[in-house]
């Protein structure tokens, strides 16, 4: 037996689950994804999402509506006669008519331990807050924002120097496996749904540009967590004087360092930088238009000396 599945997702994170659901033998009757977006240096080329590309490889119909609020779109969704909708980082709000448009409902793979970090950026927010663990949850969707009852949970430790990119990849794999397990239980009628706790809810709002500049007066732990929580996207940054001119440089990796000095002061030849409390050692950096470099390679093109200040 297999389920008739409508899959709804957009980025690489979602594509892993689409692949796993297809490999498990379920019938993917249609895929919904965000419309192709302008890409390339000039923004002239329309690029399909990773889910869109994979769906075409699988020979599945792809739909890219700008909204699901219209009656025609909702009727077309119901006409698929699907058993279940699988939703992973789709990017559109699902109206009640869509949530109720399949036999068993819509199930979401969400990258946090709900009710902590409901919303758009749970991976980045967990690291930026210094959380020691997170996870994947399979939740039956309701009309609230990530408020539905939870069927399955998998916990993942967040290592002290782990970046958002590394956590993304770990959760992507875990989430794909967990969704296949949830669909098997759903098909067998054994998936038990439990309401989320009322206490401890937090909201993982989208990352904004004004959060990405490093404030060296902040404690070292906060600086470190911000650098790794924004790596590789959007990328934390600061200004570094290179060749006598201030240059915006992305900071993509760091570790804690047990030293102190004036905020922003370079404390040695290993790119240890003082913070408001303690210090961090920068381990991966990227100049504008350049490739990410480890600290030693970066210093070969940017002569920073002890006592220099970053801003």
Is 36 marked within a binding site?
no
CA distance 93 to 240: 41
Residue 198 backbone dihedrals phi, psi, to 5 degrees? -80, -30
Three-class DSSP category at 121: coil
Burial 247-286 (b: 16+ CB within 10 A, else e): eebbbbbbebbebebebbbbbeeebbbbbbebbbbbbbbb
Are 213 and 235 spatial neighbours (Cβ–Cβ below 8 Å)? no
- Residues with Cβ within 8 Å of 10's Cβ and at least 6 positions away in sequence, in order, are 33, 34, 49, 50, 51, 52, 89, 90, 91
Is 93 marked within a binding site?
no
Q: What's the DSSP call for residue 311? A: -
Three-class DSSP category at 252: strand
Are 124 and 229 spatial neighbours (Cβ–Cβ below 8 Å)? yes
Give, in order, the Cα–Cα distances in Å from 261 to each of 204, 250, 255.
33, 22, 16
- Residues with Cβ within 8 Å of 144's Cβ and at least 6 positions away in sequence, in order, are none
Three-class DSSP category at 280: strand
Is 267 marked within a binding site?
no
Q: Which two tokens stand for residue 296?
A: 């030693």
Scan for tokens 């690291």, then name that residue: 127
Three-class DSSP category at 271: coil
Is 11 marked within a binding site?
no
Q: Which residues are annotated as a binding site for (6S)-5,6,7,8-tetrahydrofolate?
A: 112-115
Query: Annotated binding residues, as ranges?
Result: 112-115
């Amino acid at each position: 037996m297999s389920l008739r599945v409508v899959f709804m997702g957009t980025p690489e994170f979602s594509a892993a689950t689409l692949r796993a659901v297809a490999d498990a033998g379920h019938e993917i009757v249609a895929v919904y994804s965000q419309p192709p977006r302008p890409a390339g240096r000039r923004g002239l080329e329309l690029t399909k999402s990773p889910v869109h590309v994979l769906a075409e490889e699988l020979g599945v119909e792809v739909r890219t509506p700008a909204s699901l609020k219209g009656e025609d779109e909702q009727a077309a969704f119901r006409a698929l006669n699907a058993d279940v909708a699988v939703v992973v980082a789709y990017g559109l709000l699902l109206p009640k008519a869509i949530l109720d448009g399949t036999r068993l409902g819509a199930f979401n793979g969400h990258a946090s331990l709900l009710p902590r970090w409901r919303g758009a950026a749970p991976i980045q927010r967990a690291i930026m807050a210094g959380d020691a663990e997170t996870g994947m949850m399979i939740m039956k969707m309701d009309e609230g924002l990530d408020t539905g009852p939870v069927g399955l949970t998998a916990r993942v430790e967040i290592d002290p120097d782990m970046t958002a990119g590394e956590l993304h990849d770990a959760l992507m794999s875990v989430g794909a496996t967990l969704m296949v397990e949830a669909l098997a239980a759903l098909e067998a009628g054994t998936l038990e749904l439990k309401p989320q706790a009322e206490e401890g809810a937090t909201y993982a709002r989208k990352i904004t540009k004004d959060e990405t500049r490093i404030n060296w007066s902040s404690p070292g732990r906060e600086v470190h967590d911000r650098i790794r929580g924004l790596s590789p996207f959007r990328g934390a940054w600061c200004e570094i004087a290179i060749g006598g001119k201030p240059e915006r440089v992305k900071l993509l990796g760091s570790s804690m360092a047990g030293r102190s000095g004036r905020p922003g002061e370079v404390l040695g030849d290993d790119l240890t930088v003082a913070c408001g409390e303690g210090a961090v050692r920068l381990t991966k950096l990227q100049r504008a238009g350049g490739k990410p470099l480890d600290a030693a390679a970066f210093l070969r093109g940017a002569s920073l000396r002890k006592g220099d200040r970053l801003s």
